[in-house]
Structure 1
Amino acid sequence: TSQSTQWDVKIHRVDDKTVTLQVKIPATAQVGLWRCLVQTSLIGSNVKNDFLCNDDIYILFNPWCPDDAVFMDHEDNRKEYVLNETGKVWTGSARKPLGRRWIFGQFDDAVLPGAMYLLELSKLSHAERGSPVKIARAISAVINANDDLGLLVGNWSNDYRDGVAPHSWTGSVSIFEQYLKSGGRSVKYGQCWVFSAATVT
């Protein structure tokens, strides 16, 4: 089908004992971890064979797709806001802002599983996961450990002996790695700019 709201599959290539399928995902598909089950049968036979794909399939929003709610029509914007792994996080005050370099690391192996874990933690229903606004709200809520044992514990006391001082972080990857290695135990410590940078990741 050519409709952007429908799932579609077609045979892409057949080589000896291998069939390659092309799956078209609708722009409104729910973001998250999906599983794929392929069922085959011979013509004229009632016998069906199931094949469960062992690989994780992640469906994400797509800023390159004109039908997606997050579409960006300028390549420069996609390079800056999607592909750029480093940027600046601002601290201080309106009168005395201080820019700090931050490594977002959104393509690191720990980040996508960590983000999906946080999405599950948010309790956002699967039906609502096609909305970028609802996803952004859900993720921003679980970044702070005050809500549902989220990613980071906030600390403004200047006593960071049992964790990492917020100003010592230079990127999101080590935060996500520590979070996953501990089985989802909130990482100590963060402050506002660390929360925002991890949310952007």
Structure 2
Amino acid sequence: MTYTGDVQVGGPADVRELPGLTIAKLAVGPMNNNAYLLRCTATGELLLIDAANEADRLLALVGDRPLAAIVTTHRHGDHWQALEQVAKVTGAEVIAHPLDAPELPVPAGRTVAHGDEIAVGEARLEVIHLRGHTPGSIALHHDGHLFTGDSLFPGGVGNTQKDPERLASLYTDVVERLFDRLPDETWVYPGHGGDTTLGAERPSLPEWKARGW
């Protein structure tokens, strides 16, 4: 496997070929956000996770292929700076959790809840609601591949502004809805920076809880 997940703003996408699904990871914008373009290899249908920034680069990655949907993992502005332009150019449906959707610059054509599925051609993404970084943060899971937005990174859960209730909520959801359900080889694609696996992070769970952030 040549895919590493190590991408730089201004650099090329890193592409991973899975059975039935291709993942292209692109780093964009001043906050080094990750955007992920998923393509069903059977139908060619595309889905974008987080139109974070640099609409021109995202549109170049899409090319002349039909973009069916854009999923925004959560309400924070660095994850949707290019959403309005990419949605307008492509006509893609905007998808988000109902608790975060009102904060987006364009109306969501579809809202999704925990346990829902989003189709990418013949592939399916499971919606996992992870409460704490924002009220409506979601992760997307497909066959051992997990897109976590800002809820899980290498080295810890997402920022909860030192709010103990939000931290407890996010930590509990990450443990119960990710680590308790999914195997160690599950690959994690976060909203910023490099990738990891659940197995690499699992031994640190007690430390994350104890440090309080």
Query: More strand per residue: 1 or 2?
Result: 2
TM above 0.5, yes or no, is: no
Q: TM tier, shorter chain?
A: under 0.3
TM-score normalised by L of structure 2 = 0.22
The structure with the larger Rg is 1
